Structure 1
Amino acid sequence: MTDTTGTLDEALQRLHASGPERGGWLSNHAPMAVEALVRHGHAPVVHRWLDRYRAKLEDMPAPHSPVTPANWREALGDPARIADWARFFEREVTERPWREVLATWWPRLLPGIAGGATHPVIRTGHAVRTLLTSEETAPRRAELAHALGYWAARHQPLPPLRDLGPALTAAAALDAVPPVPEQEGGIRARLAQLTAVPRWGGAPDPEAALALLTELVTAATHRYATHGHGEPVMLVHAATAPNAVLRTLPALPRALWASSVAAAWSASAAVTAAYTPSEPVPYRAVPLIAEEVFERAAAHGDDHTIKFTDTALDVGDPQALAAAARSIALNPPAF
């Protein structure tokens, strides 16, 4: 991505005065959505989109007390420390190379990948993709800091899960994930009901990790075409969360790749268990063009739809594009 307009940095600077949440726990999706819009050639609509999204933004909460290298463990998973964590990581990425910061904190944060309904890791994936593929600027480093700070504040490990036995493919593993008993309430209440998941991915060597994550993202994206109606907003995260890990992998030491596959699987399986419908609907194959599908998503304006379509374009095959079209049809337009 080469953003010669400066739009992405302008948008990120606008957003960094805002907190990562609103209403107590709903996520601010704007940094992720604007990154996807700019990447796919829609920079001219970003500021107008942000103007409309402004009503969903809240100021960054007041700081509590500084997070430091000595006390970070006691602040981990404390949402009251969101501003403290953002300031901590802003200092970190100013004083050290961002890849070094990421490599230090990735294994610390990874066990809490489901925290914040997986939004923190998704935001991290968008930030890392930008830093890997475009010029490194202060607003782009700051975006990584805010993403990691959000993740640290909402860090929440899943409960211990019983192994249901191996699944040969990611698609088969997702199909074998048992739904949680009470399909009601928010994601935190649903994830607390998780008891068991199939085993998939194993402990791959680094050479296999990229292929396994690609398989998982593809399977979860395809599955939305037939299962997205179970909860059209939340089920996008079964694909976008592991894709965030896939996007981050090239920036990480290879020694962290195997654990990244396992965490991505746990996140995708958890979201699937929380919202999977009782029955699939048929998938209808129709000719679609990737650029036109994203154009429709951008015009639709819904942040989840934009992000899911961005992931579907990464997969790029006909069923992925059909899944993106399904998300456009299922989710209400934003404005």
Structure 2
Amino acid sequence: MTAITEDGTLDEALERVHSTGPEFQGWLSNHAPMTVEALARHGQARAVHRWLDSYRHRTEDLPTAALTITDANWHEALGDARHLGSWIAHFTRLTAELPWADVLTTWWPRLLPGIIAGATHPVIRVGHAVRTLLTDGETAPRTAELAHALGYWAARHQPLPGTVTPSGTAGPHRALDAIPVYAAVQEGGIRDRLARLPAADGWPAAASGLRRPAGPDDAHDLLAELVRATVARYPRYAHGDAVMLVHAATAPNAVLRVLPALPRALWVPSLAAAWEASAVITAAYAPARALFAGAGAGAAATMEESFALAAAHGDAHVIKLADTAWDVGGPAALAATARACELIEPGDG
């Protein structure tokens, strides 16, 4: 794993980001914290502040905290976006009082059932924050970033009706291939699609198609395979919705990045939630037919070159997919980044 260059760029960027809220225009996600972390990690630190300057019009001020969240009222405030500022303030207090890993361990199982919240952007943001803390060490801006990410997730917490539990016999590749295309579901925005999905014919069986892990280590391996499968699928299915299908890969990879900071007892439920995220996004956005995209006309020869192409493209989703593709490596990862650069217009994210 590539380490952050210790020149202060990421911490400076996070301090800039933390004057803004996690959303803009009502509910669209602020991708800045995730994007600058990926840029700084993969040799593009010089582009970080320039990228932030170009993204400024897609941010709004940090919302104020109107409610003090406590042990007595957090259940009622969970999933209430009116308390977005209050949730961020709550986790800022917690991470100032307790080790960040303890806060994460307490709240991860509480938040995990709502992994689809905010189109999975909150859990992705948590994954970027935890990766930095584990790999590069703790600083005040990095701990604050985890607090902002957890607060965003708590405010947008959104469980799906029913439970998606791996109980089949298929590995991730076959389980994803078995998810039906629901024409009636694939209309409108993500919240409309999610509302219709649980009642769709065949959904419960398809959602349970992934095999049950034998234990924590097997859950880890299945999760890593799920990330590889979603990256490999992206070039062939991205024409369905090139932006939204990015999350089928980046959401489970965020969970994979968090596992080393969690007790092993949480690894199996973490896999189940990650599978739910990928399965839901696949059902809601994957097209009926795959397209053979080859290696991609613009595919780079190395991961370094591939990420540089994503950075030059500039779109947040392209950069974040390239970051996940870097973790996977190989021709499929190079093709995924090239396909995203081809299909996503700069500024879409």
Report the TM-score range of the alignment, normalised by the length of the smaller protein: over 0.9
Cα pair distance change 1:61/1:2, threshold 3 Å: closer
By how many angstroms is 1:289 displaced? Answer: 1.3
Which residue in the other structure is 1:192 paired with?
195
Give identity over the alignment, percent.
59
Supply the AA of the counterpart residue of 1:6: G
Which residue in the other structure is 1:209 paired with?
219
Map Cα deviations across residues 53-104 of structure 1 (whole Å, 9 max, x no partner): 0000000122221111221101000001010000000011110000000000
Structure 1: state its 5+ residue gaps. none
Q: 1:265 aligns with which of 275, 293, 305?
A: 275
Which residue in the other structure is 2:314 paired with?
301
Map Cα deviations across residues 123-142 of structure 1 (whole Å, 9 max, x no partner): 00000000000021000000
Q: TM-score, normalised by structure 1?
A: 0.97
Larger deviation, residues 121-130 vs 281-290 = 281-290
Which residue in the other structure is 1:324 paired with?
337
Cα pair distance change 1:269/1:325, threshold 3 Å: same
Which residue in the other structure is 2:239 paired with?
229
Q: 1:38 aligns with which of 40, 64, 69?
A: 40
Supply the AA of the counterpart residue of 2:190: I
Distance in 1 separating the partners of 2:128 and 2:27: 20
Distance in 2 separating the partners of 1:333 and 1:74: 39
Cα pair distance change 1:13/1:162, threshold 3 Å: closer
Distance in 2 separating the partners of 1:162 and 1:297: 33
Larger deviation, residues 192-201 vs 103-112 = 192-201
Distance in 2 separating the partners of 1:17 and 1:253: 32
Q: 2:228 aligns with which of 215, 218, 221?
A: 218
Distance in 1 separating the partners of 2:211 and 2:273: 10
Supply the AA of the counterpart residue of 1:202: R
Assess if the C-alpha contact under 8 Å between 1:288 and 1:322 holds in 2: no
Query: Are 2:187 and 1:151 aligned?
Result: no
| Aligned counterparts, 1:1-335, within 5 A | 1-160=3-162, 166-180=168-182, 181-195=184-198, 196=203, 197-285=207-295, 288-334=301-347
Cα pair distance change 1:163/1:203, threshold 3 Å: closer
By how many angstroms is 1:162 displaced? Answer: 7.8
Larger deviation, residues 305-314 vs 205-214 = 205-214
By how many angstroms is 1:185 displaced? Answer: 1.1
Assess if the C-alpha contact under 8 Å between 1:122 and 1:241 holds in 2: yes
Assess if the C-alpha contact under 8 Å between 1:201 and 1:262 holds in 2: no
Cα pair distance change 1:284/1:148, threshold 3 Å: same
By how many angstroms is 1:165 displaced? Answer: 7.2
Cα pair distance change 1:245/1:201, threshold 3 Å: farther
Supply the AA of the counterpart residue of 1:45: A
Assess if the C-alpha contact under 8 Å between 1:107 and 1:256 holds in 2: yes
Cα pair distance change 1:201/1:101, threshold 3 Å: farther
| SS in structure 1 at match of 2:287 | coil
Map Cα deviations across residues 210-265 of structure 1 (whole Å, 9 max, x no partner): 11110000001110010011000000000000000000000000010000000000
The CA RMSD over aligned residues, in Å, is 1.6
| SS in structure 2 at match of 1:192 | helix
Between the two proteins, the alignment pairs up a number of residues equal to: 335
Structure 2: state its 5+ residue gaps. none
By how many angstroms is 1:161 displaced? Answer: 5.4
Assess if the C-alpha contact under 8 Å between 2:169 and 2:212 holds in 1: no
Q: TM-score, normalised by structure 2?
A: 0.93
Supply the AA of the counterpart residue of 2:123: V
Distance in 1 separating the partners of 2:46 and 2:113: 38
| SS in structure 1 at match of 2:170 | coil
Distance in 2 separating the partners of 1:163 and 1:124: 22
Distance in 2 separating the partners of 1:160 and 1:284: 38
